[in-house]
Amino acid sequence: MKPLVSIAWHSAWHRRSTLVLVVLSVALATLLLLGVERLRSDVRESFSQSVSGTDLVVGARTGSVQLMLYAVFRIGGATNNIRMSSLRDLAALRGVDWVVPLSLGDSHRGFAVLATTPAYFERFRYGDRQLLALAQGRAFNADAADLYATVLGADVAERLATASPIASR
């Protein structure tokens, strides 16, 4: 047994550069495999926590990944909107408890505009079922007085140096 180990050791020693490359390749492949698996699980967890309490996202015909990326994460290009009559039909379905319409694609001074209803502030949850919180002011209502009301995100308000609603221009 001892001569066999000695022969193997001498063989490996004479091929040490090849052996080092093989060991490094196996280590790199293992590291890459573990890294991709960790990334996959982190992305899945982050995605599931992004919009909590939402079972279904419905939109115009497009790729499901594109719809989800833009509707939830505002990544990618805007998809086509569906008609309000289609939204009402969906809301009237027996298994549907609530709907929150989102109309995306417009912008103001480079910032994305999201058109929606007051249900967005009542129903939309993110993270661990957290409601949206307003630093100041209030969410708009469905009545005619708030027809053109605007709610600014904190980052947008800070970048535009706006502490009050945007004046019409």
Phi and psi at residue 111, in whole multiples of 5°? -100, 140
**Residue 75 clears pLDDT 90, i.e. is over it:** no
Same structural domain for residues 35 and 100?
Answer: no
Mean pLDDT of 15-20: 90
Same structural domain for residues 86 and 31?
Answer: no
- Round the average pLDDT of the chain to a whole number and report it: 81
Same structural domain for residues 39 and 106?
Answer: no
Asked if the structure places residue 146 within a domain, the reply is yes
Q: Residue 52: its pLDDT value, please?
A: 64
Cα-to-chain-centroid distance, residue 94:
29
Query: How confident is residue 47, by pLDDT bands cut at 50, 70 and 90?
Result: confident
Query: How confident is residue 74, by pLDDT bands cut at 50, 70 and 90?
Result: confident
Q: Residue 163: its pLDDT value, please?
A: 47
Q: State the pTM of this model.
A: 0.59
Same structural domain for residues 95 and 151?
Answer: yes
The domain total for the chain is 2
Asked if the structure places residue 32 within a domain, the reply is yes
Domain containing residue 35 = 2-48
83-97: pLDDT as tens digits: 889 889 988 999 888
Asked if the structure places residue 61 within a domain, the reply is no
